[in-house]
Structure 1
Amino acid sequence: MKKTLKLLLITGASGAFLGACGGGGGSSTPPAVVVTPPPVTDTAPVYTAGTFEPATTFKDMCETPRAGRADQAGSTLEEKFWLRSWTDETYLWYNEVTDRDPNSIADRIDYFNELRTARTTSSGAPVDQFHFNIDTEEYEARQSGEASAGYGARFRLLQSAPPRDIRVVYTQSNGPAGAAGGFRRGDKILVVDGIDAVNGGSTQAELDILNEGTFPTVAGVEHNFTVLGTDGAERDVTITSADVVEQPVTTTSIIDTADSKKVGYIHFTTFSPFSSEEAIFTAMQEMDAANVDDLVLDLRYNGGGLLAVAAQVGFMVAGADETANKTFDRLTFNDKNPTTNPVTGRALEPTPFYSTGLGFTVNQGVALPELNLERVFILSTSGTCSASEAVINGLRGIDIEVILIGSQTCGKPYGFYPTDNCGETYFTVQFRGANDKGFGDYADGFLPNDGNAGFGEEVPGCTIPDEYQGALGDADEPFLAAALQYAQNGTCPAATVTKPAQSKLQSTFSSGLDMMSDPRLATDEFLRTSRIGGVTDDVIVGEQ
């Protein structure tokens, strides 16, 4: 809900000015009292093009101060002046932002959305597709891993308006969707609580039923579905919504190949919330115990998260010998800050391959497992973004072979420190990352090098369409099957398709409690979520 622009006019204290009218001595007429109103002083900030006061001048000056926070009484205008100065101080491309008068746009979010570069990449995609905001309370709940209503399923709206195509991408074992009789990967949703999910929703009431049934906001409510399975058969599914916690690792498996090798598989969905550290630590311990010869890391739906966790993943894949004294990711800020992090105020130092727990959910100093692999298979789509891409780039920087199976990644070598102001957490690109070799130019993403060349950084591998067929972790699932074939003989499946046009995520996201306090908490997360319990790409909409 938009807030009306409100200026606070602060005036001095009222005073009485006394004037005496003198007559002759002994006059009994009292002196006249003349009351002059104090001058009205408008202390609202004044816009001067090209002149920026320090962002601290306006920080936490809020139209609606929150109790128990640093908020002070202020105005929407001051919130916009803070956004303007903060952008000028920390935005990576600050000198490409049009300096707009905060008075010219009433809403603070509308104003924030204008504070970005309009430049495009060589493919024609916007350089900055990663500029967004989220309510601070929701953001903090997500980062801390709080449960929220849902099914523990990820949905993909291939078409959100009629004829709709709503698919189940995967389910979590800790949610009702993953239980017997629940959803299966690839299910197409046909009916939700009696409403045709494909062509229905002609009224707002029907759309509300579709949205609440698919993305429930309340736990403990039963919803009824008819779905079309990948086997071509329709079936009815009844699921009761529950409070579900996001599960960073949903599936692991160990596959024995025909040539007596062991291939490990990990489906890793996010580098946040903080529980992601423990989840990937445990999964890598399983791979280490099995003494795997190869690893398939499924990042096709992983929109990113904490760079520190990505650096831990790089270490666990490559091991101590290959990562010793090497840089996982070196951050560069804008040209106003060549040697100092403008957010933390600390001297710039490269991010190493972290070899121990960092205290998110694995105790500090606990040694991480080491697989000591010379190569890794990464499953990717356009949903593979940010910290996921940092793993690809970081490992390539130390000559660990990365083999990409799937499609082109999103293209985000950038990151930010999510910053709260007056109840809204803002994400604006503040740094660019590069690997040990100094490479970070993948704004059009990484893509497999088979088939027709496209924009982006080519990596050895196979282009495979994601059609939501087969259970994740099953050797016959097309992405994993392609990785196993390539591991055995270096070839791609005959059904490899021509590279599709690059698809960029457009999204809003989540992550971190206090990204200002610790450089390890820098995040490049760009994950599209509706709620932790039910993750999606869009909401259902009516006719277009």
Structure 2
Amino acid sequence: MKIDYKTAGRSALSATLALALAACGGGGGSSAPIAGPPPGATPAPTPPPTNSACSTANQIDFADDVLNDWYLFPDLLDNTVNAANFDTVQSFLDARVAPARAQSRDVGFTFATSIADENALINSGSSAGFGVRLSFDQDNNRLFILEAFENAPGFQAGIDRGTEILSIGTDASNLQAVSDLLADGGPQAVVNALGPSDAGVTRVLRFVQDDGTVIETSVSKSDFSLDPVSDRYGALIIEDGGRNVGYLNLRTFIVSDAADQLRSAFQLFASNNVDELILDFRYNGGGLVSVAETLGDLMGRDQIGNIFSQTVLREERSDNNTTRLFESEMNALQPEGLVLIGTRSTASASELVTNSMLSYVSPNRIALVGDDTSGKPVGQFAFDLDECDLRVRAVTFQTLNADDEGDYFTGLASVMPNTCRAVDDFTSPLGDPSEASIATALDFLAGRSCTPISGGPGQTAQSLNRRQILTPAQPNAAQYQIPGLF
């Protein structure tokens, strides 16, 4: 069987760096390395076979060859697994990497997906749904909106950050209370009630807006483009004590256009003499390594030619190891102060960028604010079986900074010199200086004291927030890369 190793270099999708990560060599963006999403989800199964060559057995054989030849932790593969016992590629992959998962080295990072769906996401940000991110409070059986994409039907129906979804139905006569769904069937019952992520799927939603207004309306899912940097709050100048602080809210690294949107944001920062930055990646699950590298360049004005990151593969694939140096970018800055706003949904590329900047920002001027992050210092290359629309994203590399550091499998709090505890105050708009996490970030940059995230360097931090991102049992390509998307 021929394996299409389109990702043998450093130009593909960055593994799960939470989205950023090394690129795979070969055919352009579709095979780029990615640094991606947080753990906890099982990606949607690959499409059913369309011919005998695409039998489940042949697809599993393909996946097995990928792991045997490229997996970053070959000693942590279960070689006793019998391929004949599995009826999906994903269930086979899960079984094979179970030892790595048990050591928190691959917590849902190796997966099978559709080539066509992932390419559409990368190339145009294409997705279908209501265009909102959802979280649930299991203790109190409530469902809240964390973020709404401006060009999607949810936002246009009046749903935005802070909105609480009260009831869901296929029409007004069969509305089901969210509290009952969560109490009786857990989060998957809510996922089922919302229906498939297909254009044209319609649901009647009863919701209460942040100001207390209750609305009941029919909302149809539609195709929309995921805008990586919001026109409302993606790039802002926050005036704090006479200082101009740059605020960047990057939703995802997975859309290739994010690089140009980042350049526009830094043009704003440069024109306002910004030398302190807040990177709000609280829901950013990662994406393309190439986008992470562009962001690094935009923060490396004085570091051109120095090491931004190192990509390290298993020993027998070490001829594919690469070192990425800072490159020149117009409007680049050299931040004197840098804060990452993170949560447990902050992963991969988001973590990669922050870890790389640890080598270049003074230790007393860089911090993690909010909650600990996912902990994904590894990335994936894409291995394509074109005729079956099968892409296997396998963990194939680890990323290190200029100081050869990159062991934050429990989250960035274990390696950051400073952390500040803060809640994700979803009742306040993103970009609002009074929002709890942003206010705490400003306090740190101004030299004001804060309460450290529990855990601290070398320890595992406990999560601060009881709310959890709503995740389907089998997320599609967009949901895997963009936590909470519906």
The normalised TM-score by structure 1 is 0.69
Equivalent residue, structure 2, for 1:43:
none
Q: Is the 8 A contact 1:405 1:464 kept in 2?
A: yes
How far apart in 2 are the matches of 1:214 and 1:65? 26
Shift of the 90–209 alpha-carbon distance from structure 1 to 2, 3 Å rule, reads: closer
Name the counterpart of 1:157: 136
Correspondence for 2:281 among 299, 316, 329? 299
Q: How far is 1:129 from its partner? A: 3.4
Q: 1:267 to 1:424 in 2, by over 3 A?
A: same
Say if 1:56 and 1:228 are closer, same or farther in 2 by CA, change over 3 A. Answer: closer
CA contact (8 A) 1:380 1:406 kept: yes
Provide, for residues 155-195 of structure 1, a one-character-per-residue CA deviation record: whole Å limited to 9, x for no partner.
12343xx963221001122224334x611312221112422
2:462 matched to which residue of 1? 501
- State how 1:277-292 maps to structure 2 within 5 Å: 277-292=259-274
Question: Aligned runs of 1:393-432 on 2, under 5 Å?
Answer: 393-399=355-361, 401-421=365-385, 422-432=388-398
Q: Does the residue aligned with 1:427 lie in a helix, a strand or coil?
A: strand
Does 1:484 pair with 2:442? yes
Equivalent in the alignment of 2:225:
245
Residue of 125, 137, 150 corresponding to 2:116: 137
Contact 1:508 1:528 in 2 (8 A): no
| Distance in 1 of aligned mates of 2:398 and 2:376 | 9
- Within 5 Å, give how 1:191-206 maps onto structure 2: 191-193=167-169, 194-200=175-181
Structure 1: segments with no counterpart, 5+ residues: 1-52, 67-71, 342-347, 356-366, 448-455, 512-524, 537-544
Q: Which residue of 2 aligns with 1:436?
A: 402
Structure 2 counterpart of 1:352, from 325, 344, 364: 325
SS at match of 1:336: helix
Please tell me whether residue 275 in structure 1 is matched to residue 257 in structure 2.
yes
Question: 1:304, 1:526 within 8 Å by CA — same for their partners in 2?
Answer: no
Which residue in the other structure is 1:8 paired with? none
Q: Deviations over 1:314-354 (max 9, x none)?
A: 221231x2x2221111111112122x22xxxxxx3312224
1:187 maps to what in 2?
163
Distance of 1:369 and 1:213 partners within structure 2: 43
Distance 1:408 1:529, change over 3 A: closer
| 1:542 alignment counterpart | none
The CA distance in 2 between the partners of 1:309 and 1:189, in whole Å, is 34
- Separation in 2 of the partners of 1:405 and 1:437? 23
Please give the alpha-carbon distance, in whole angstroms, between the structure 2 residues aligned to 1:201 and 1:488.
42
**Residues 175, 368 of structure 1: CA spacing in aligned structure 2 closer, same or farther, 3 A cutoff?**
farther
Give the counterpart of 1:383 among 345, 365, 368.
345
- Matched with 1:111 is 92
Return the alpha-carbon distance in structure 1 between the equivalents of residues 276 and 246 of structure 2.
6
Distance, in Å, in 1 between the alignment partners of 2:266 and 2:104 is 36
CA deviation digits over 1:45-95, x for unaligned, max 9? xxxxxxxx98579xxxx99457xxxxx836433322222222111001112
- For 2:244, the equivalent position in structure 1 comes to 262
- Cα distance, 1:310–1:228 mapped onto 2, change above 3 Å: same
* Code of the aligned partner of 1:178: F
What's the C-alpha RMSD, in Å, of the aligned pairs? 3.3
Post-superposition offset of 1:146:
5.0
Q: Which residue matches 1:474? A: 432
- Shift, 1:151, TM fit: 2.8
Q: TM-score by structure 2 length?
A: 0.76
Deviation at 1:290, TM superposition (A): 1.9
Q: Compared with structure 1, are the counterparts of its residues 212 and 242 closer, same or farther at alpha carbon in structure 2 (3 Å cutoff)? A: farther
Aligned partners of 1:294, 1:83: CA distance in 2, in Å? Answer: 45
Secondary structure (helix, strand or coil) at the match of 2:403 reads: coil
CA drift of 1:269 comes to 0.7
Matches within 5 A, 1:62-73: 64-65=49-50, 73=53
Counterpart code for 1:527: Q
Measured after TM superposition, the shift of residue 463 of structure 1 is 1.0
Q: Is 96-105 or 438-447 further displaced after alignment?
A: 96-105
Please say if 1:527 is aligned against 2:481. yes
The alignment partner of 1:249 has SS state of coil
Of Structure 1 and Structure 2, the greater helix share is in: 2
Residues 425/165 of structure 1: CA separation in 2 closer, same or farther (3 Å cut): farther
Q: Which moved more, 1:93-102 or 1:195-204?
A: 195-204
Residue 411 of structure 1 and its aligned partner are, at CA, apart by 0.6
String of CA shifts for 1:82-130, please: whole Å, max 9, x gaps: 2222211100111221223323434433222222151468xx6455431
Q: Which runs of 5+ in 2 are unaligned?
A: 6-46, 170-174, 456-460
Structure 2 CA distance, aligned partners of 1:214 and 1:254? 39
Question: Given the superposition, is the C-alpha separation of residues 472 and 528 from structure 1 closer, same or farther in structure 2, using an over 3 Å criterion?
Answer: closer
Identity of aligned residues (%): 22
For the pair 1:446 / 2:412, whether they are aligned, the reply is yes
